[in-house]
Structure 1
Amino acid sequence: MTVLILGLVLFLGAHSVRIFADGWRTRTIASLGDKGWKAAYSVVSLIGFGLIVWGYGLARQQPVVVWSPPVMMKHLNSLFTLVAFVFLAAAYVPRNQIRAKLHHPMVLGVKLWAFGHLLATGKLADMVLFGAFLLWAVLDFRAARQRDRALGTVYAPGTLAGTLIAVVVGAVAWAVFAFWLHAAWIGVAPLGRTL
């Protein structure tokens, strides 16, 4: 569990700089330059991510069961994850109504993904992993909305075409991940079987 926690501290810590130390971030970018900052940020994030994957794998070898979720929670998690994938796509597809309305759909997608997985899993390592991501997403969304208000950020209106593209891309990515990649990469088939 120590490796998992260290990975979460590094990965989510790097992704929390704008939440807790935006001024320091600005000064550091001015000192290192944009490329230097991105390089350091990427290195810390990759090390953290690697430790999360390794630590989670280690923790799953000796699972500590906290509770046994009902089967319906797994189905609810699948729905939440589908919406999370659509939100993730909406963060990148230009001029879609989801981003125009929600402003930070990727962070909301992380919230849904983490919350759904907390409902559907009952082991201690799951609670640490998904609980940490849920807490980060809540704090990050709040900080991002505060920055938007302070800067007077205006988001471009979305179009129906952009919205449909975001929904289709997100749904296809979810299906590929749910039916094939989740089992191959994580060892769990979330929908009970693979095609």
Structure 2
Amino acid sequence: MNDVELVAQLQRFEPEAVDVLMSRFADRLYNYAYYHSSDHHLAEDIVSETLTRIVEKIGDYQQREVPFKAWVFRIARNLLADHYRHRSRHPSVSLEAASDESSSLYETLSSDYGGADGGELATQVAQREDLRQALNLLPEDQRTVFILRFIEGNDLEQVVTILNKSIASIKSLQFRATRNLRQILDDNNCGKKRRVGYE
């Protein structure tokens, strides 16, 4: 079932379409929320609320305006933004326990907007707590682009649509995210603990 068929079935309130929606997006939404928040419970809440809102608002959705996948992630992104608006500050996670060997993953990073190496980095994120923590220290816009681009596997045009930014802006954020992840891990290996500054 493609997205057009899924939307049509959801709009007809067919129960099996909800099962397809959950199987297609629940894990991806969880990963997206978890890598933003480092909070399992919050990630589960975001998944639940996102899926609920999709079902509630599917009657108003029109495929020609925004691709369905982009619309789904926009809902999740807005829910996360609402959550952080109600918090006094973002949590700061120490990299003190990060592995000394982690910097070797970044030795071959190029200046090609981080595109060539970001995907390789992302394949390590799921298994490596130090990289997850490093992602948590990135400025939100860089973290969002990195997660959408390399963890969720969206291409540049999809990220542009989800975030409603120019392709030049997405490339710049992608490059800075990759560079700053390397800097965080290099600093940790040198015994430094500092937060990457906003650019």
Return the structure number with greater helix share.
1
Question: Normalising by the residue count of structure 2, what TM-score does the alignment of the two structures yield?
Answer: 0.32
Question: Normalising by the residue count of structure 1, what TM-score does the alignment of the two structures yield?
Answer: 0.33
